[in-house]
Every structure is written in C-alpha cells, then in structure tokens.
Amino acid sequence: MSSENPFDLTGRVCVVTGGNRGIGFGIAHGLARAGASVSLWSRDEARNAEAAEALKKQHAGPVHTAACDVGSEQSLRAATDATLEHFGRIDVGIANAGFGATADALELELDEWHRLLRVNLDGAFLTFRMLGKHMKQRGGGGKLVAVSSISAAYGTPLQPHYAASKGGLEALVRAFAVRMARYDVQVNAVQPGWIATEATEIGMSHDAFRELIVKRTPARRWGEPDDMAGVFVYLASDASRFHTGDTLRVDGGYSIF
C-alpha cells in the first residue's frame, strides 16, 4: 500500500459477509473503489454472482464470491478455505451478515430469539474467530469490523432480540480488540442509522414513519448504502492502525437530535 495515501487498499483482500445487497453491498463498493480485492460471502449464490458482476463493471480490482452461512462453522471454514485458495490471504473481515425481525418483548418465542442471534451474534463471533486465527497465524496485522446498529443504544420493545444481538456484538468487538491488539489487528464496529435498503423498505413504505425519520435526522434524509463506504475504508486501512475497540456511529445526526 502506498505510504502517500493511507486510505489506499490496493493489494488488500477484504471479506464482506452478507455483501451482496444493502449496506454490505455499499461497503463492498467502497472497498473496491479504494483498490481492494473483495470476496462476497452469502448464502444466496445467485445474488452473489449478480453483485460480483456489478462490482466488476465499476471497479478494476478482482472480485470473488463464496456461499456461506455464517451461523455454521463448517460453512465458514469452507468459505475461508475457498477465499484463501483464490487470493492467498485475507486482510480485512467485515461481519455484516444479519437480519432484523419484529416481535413484542413479552411475546417473543425462544426459537425466534435463537434464530436471529444465530446469525447476528453467533455469526459475527464465528467470523471473527475464524479470520482472527488466520491473521494471527499469517502475521502482518489485519482488520475486523462489525456492522452494529443504533438499536444497540436505544430501547426497542418490538425488536428485543435484534437490539440484544447488536449490543452483544459491540461487547464482542471490545473483547476481540484487546485479544488481537498484540497481533496488530484492529477490531471495531459501526452503527448505521436509518439506511434505505431492502431490510427497511417496509418502514419506508409508510409515509408517516418515513417522514418521521427524516424530521428526526438533522441531515434531513434517509441514508444510502454508499454513505457507509467511507468509514469502512478508513477502518480497513492503515489510517486506523491505532484505532481499536471502538464503535463509530454513522446516522446523519439522528442520535444527537
């Protein structure tokens, strides 16, 4: 990487779980635009292929895909092995895979609680553990970044499992940050605000709710997936080499107004 530009990701291999749509795809665009080689991991192989083609049309760097269920150790191992066979190394791991769901805190079934945490929290842990071991053994440092949510900071009585998964995720980030610091691996999280994606289209379809978010957000708009790109390029680059164990919020000012 050029010493003249600490944000240049040329030569770096970046994995983005759930990277074929929404925020993950916006992150992948940003990393590829900064020169990184990108591997998209997701269960939907057809969607992976579509996303990879879209990246290749806009960016010069190589793009790879791997079918992956982040809640399965076997699936994660296979995706890691396939990516290492293709690129030879992994420098950056973005734990983005996850989903939201709505349920009253008093009525939420335990099976639904476990189903969501399996992906959102277990999946991030397994991803960090798998890639962290690789970075330790390979040497030379690395980056691990988790996609959290402002739900980790607010009371969400209709999404208790989602909020708990993100709160736990940020605690996990701090634990890994301390464990991996001796190997020059920085570990951080990002809290997106209200971003216009497939995951939020139900809320956006209701005029009153959509406008409520706009009025509450000083930037006076919903975020777009590409709004997340810059912070992830920073956290994937040498510019953040002394920045670890932190959660950065990118929400257009929603949380301060």
Which active-site residues does the annotation give?
149, 162, 166
Q: Is the dihedral of CA 207, 212, 215, 216 positive or negative?
A: negative
Tokens representing residue 147 in the block: 């996609």
> How distant is the alpha carbon of residue 238 from its chain centre?
18
> Contact at 8 Å (CB) between 189 and 173?
yes
